A = this chain, B = another copy of it.
Amino acid sequence: MPRIGGTIDPMDDATFWRELGQQLRVDSIRASSAAGSGHPTSSMSAADLIAVLLANHLHYDFDRPDDPRNDHLIFSKGHASPLYYSALKAAGAITDAELLTFRRLGSRLEGHPTPVLPWVDVATGSLGQGLPIGVGVALAGQRLDQLPYRVWVLCGDSELAEGSIWEAFEHAAFNKLTNLTAILDVNRLGQTRETMHGWDLDAYASRATAYGWHAIEIDGHDVAAIDAAFTEAAEARDRPTVIVARTKKGKGAREVEDKEGKHGKPLENPEEAISELGGVRSLHVDVAKPEGDSVPHKFEPDDAVAWPRWGPADKVATRRAYGDALTALGAERGDLVALDGEVSNSTYSEEFRHAYPDRYFEMFIAEQQMVAAAVGLQVRGYRPFASTFAAFLSRAYDFVRMAAISRAKICLSGSHAGVSIGEDGPSQMALEDLAEFRAVHSAVVLYPSDPNQTAALVRLMADHPGIAYIRTTRGALPTIYGADERFEIGGSRVVRSSDADEVTLVGAGVTLHEALKAADALGEQGIAARVIDLYSVKPVDAETLRQAAEDTGAIVTVEDHWPEGGLGDAVLSSLAEVENVRVRKLAVEIMPGSGTPAELLHEVGIDAEAIAAAAQELVRAPAG
């Protein structure tokens, strides 16, 4: 593999790798010192590992980061960003001047890597996420692209305390991801103290081996050993490889090497350390480009599958309509893939699973790995729909948060929302998911109340340039929309209205149907009620809500969700600057238990009766 020494030449491979490692250390120190913050010591421990990887094993065209044949390099220990950026400089992707903009306002070199840089697949910095995301990229390589690229993930030893790492170990072995190599930088020291296992490499290797990985223990500063380990990893059959490398944090600088209390801060005497490390260098490493001319496999559309349609007599759960629509969309679009947390017969992603087993990923009961895999799959341009009970998506909230920073395009479906699931009880009821997903940047939050609408929204989700969340319902709901009606992200639907409306009822999903019943009851009492289906909870259709405020002056919102952060708050937010409107928010205020759906809707005060009563009160007794 070609590589070129810059200022110092010619030199043998090992000398070059060592020199390159020193350069990465020096540049990590320089970048952190220029910034006045950052993690030089966590960069220095892994410098030799990354030097040898760049020089002799990585296949990556820095001029064409979108080349599908490229390897993928993920810094799961995102705080080692100085090392990553120093590697970019050594590879010629960025200049030394840009390196020194590290952590400045407007710089692409953020405190932790993000895809603002074209070579970064995903944002890291929340520990324990890079490896499970790497599993997703490796799954794309193995099962979708069917290309021989490799996925290299640099992990810290501290982050192996995250359970999500072990979800990744489990899934990588189960799927025989030979294309995945984890590089474990065992520098022994965490932020405040020694890790649980210190330099006990066997502790990591024995766990990895038990999970079914190939484990190689090395001295992470011995470039020949590193080189041999990478070669061995590439040759492993039937299993992923972890290289367990004993390293020293702050390696090469007396001020910090293997010392506690040196985490996450620039060196006090950077010049002295740079001098110890042999001074500033400007070696260039000519990273090998991907070989061959293979192209990604394409999954072809299937024209034979018809889009689902429901008639007015159909009562269908929106979760089932989700499965039907996803399957139909999967026929149109070969880039669509589905994942599920081993509840596919509840979320109805099983329909997709049956139709396209090649594009379905069973993630078992591992929601963090499920969302991480979705993020990894979209790195390669696939459009993942990941589903489980909405309540259990909360398990992966940090992954969704980070997915937004990754600018990831993923679709999430949460079924079994709210007390309307009935007997299973509160552990299975999502009552916070609207708040959860509203507070995610780039996210849209959809909550359909009818099967045709669900199907239309599923189609829209697949083109949303961010995170798209859909909340579905366990029980069957009446079909109230035609199969050809159009809906939009940010839209709403006035389901009932008249010139005489005195009050507006706003619901979505199961509560829309309760609102319709309430409107009937109010009508019998001579109160005309407008009913709005707020199927897009974020963004919200402010215009329609403002019109309703102006027309009726009184709004009742009702949601199968805690009172905070959900549909009611979305409505209030859209009316923040509107005067002359009173809004009453109905939501789940007490901890529910078990019961039938109807009993529970009544018990927590979000059924038609409660809505009608609230509307009546609001209309008949205006605030002073």
Contacts and interface: CB of A to CB of B under 8 A. Distances in A.
Interface of A: 35-38, 78, 103-107, 109-112, 114, 116, 123-128, 158-159, 161-167, 170, 174, 190-193, 195-196, 206-207, 209-211, 342-346, 350, 362, 364-369, 391-392, 394-395, 397-398, 401-402, 404-405, 422-428, 431-432, 435-436, 438-442, 538, 561-566, 568-570, 572-573, 576-585, 591, 593-596, 599-600, 603, 618, 623
4 residue pairs, one from A and one from B, having the closest CB atoms: A163-B163, A125-B427, A565-B565, A105-B595
Contact of A163 (B165, B397, B428): B165
Nearest to A212: B203
A111 B398 contact: no
Given A164-B163, A623-B577, A596 B105 contact: yes
B427 A163 contact: no
A522 to B, nearest CB: 18
Contact of A110 (B207, B563, B593): B593
Contact of A394 (B366, B397, B432): B397
A210 B364 CA distance: 22
Nearest to A369: B163
Contacts of A402: 427
Nearest to A602: B105
B105 A365 contact: no
Contacts of A166: 163, 166
Given A105-B600, A127-B365, A582-B577, A423 B342 contact: no
Nearest to A346: B191
A189 to B, nearest CB: 11
Given A37-B423, A573-B585, A579-B582, A344 B192 contact: yes
Contact of A564 (B127, B401, B573): B573
Complex copy number for this chain: 2
A232 to B, nearest CB: 21
Given A106-B593, A109-B594, A161-B365, 11 more contacts: A103-B423, A104-B595, A105-B593, A114-B426, A170-B196, A207-B211, A210-B210, A394-B398, A431-B439, A576-B585, A577-B584
Contacts of A36: 423
Contacts of A427: 78, 111-112, 114, 123-126, 402, 405
Contacts of A404: 591
Contacts of A207: 207, 210-211
A538 to B, nearest CB: 7
Given A112-B428, A342-B192, A426-B123, A584 B573 contact: no
A269 B210 CA distance: 42
Given A105-B593, A191-B342, A193-B342, A438 B565 contact: yes
A474 to B, nearest CB: 11
A158 B363 CA distance: 11
23 contacts: A105-B595, A111-B428, A125-B424, A125-B427, A161-B342, A161-B366, A162-B163, A162-B366, A162-B395, A163-B165, A163-B369, A392-B398, A397-B436, A402-B427, A405-B426, A431-B439, A439-B565, A564-B569, A564-B570, A568-B573, A572-B576, A576-B583, A577-B623
B599 A105 contact: yes
Given A105-B593, A162-B163, A365-B162, A125 B395 contact: no
A158 B364 contact: yes
Contacts of A211: 207
A565 to B, nearest CB: 3
A191 B349 CA distance: 13
B365 A159 contact: yes
Contacts of A428: 111-112, 125
B594 A104 contact: yes
B343 A192 contact: yes
Given A110-B593, A565-B439, A37 B424 contact: yes
Contacts of A123: 426-427
Contact of A210 (B105, B159, B206, B394): B206
Nearest to A575: B572
Nearest to A108: B593
B578 A366 contact: no
Contacts of A127: 365
Contacts of A206: 210
Contacts of A394: 397-398, 401
Contacts of A426: 110, 114, 123, 125, 405
Contacts of A572: 569, 572-573, 576
Given A161-B167, A190-B365, A196-B364, A114 B593 contact: yes
Contacts of A405: 426-427, 591
Nearest to A126: B427
Contacts of A190: 342, 364-365
A573 B573 CA distance: 9
A162 B167 contact: yes
Contacts of A563: 573
Contacts of A191: 342-343, 345-346
A503 B231 CA distance: 68
Contacts of A107: 593-594
A538 B565 contact: no
Contact of A436 (B111, B125, B436, B580): B436
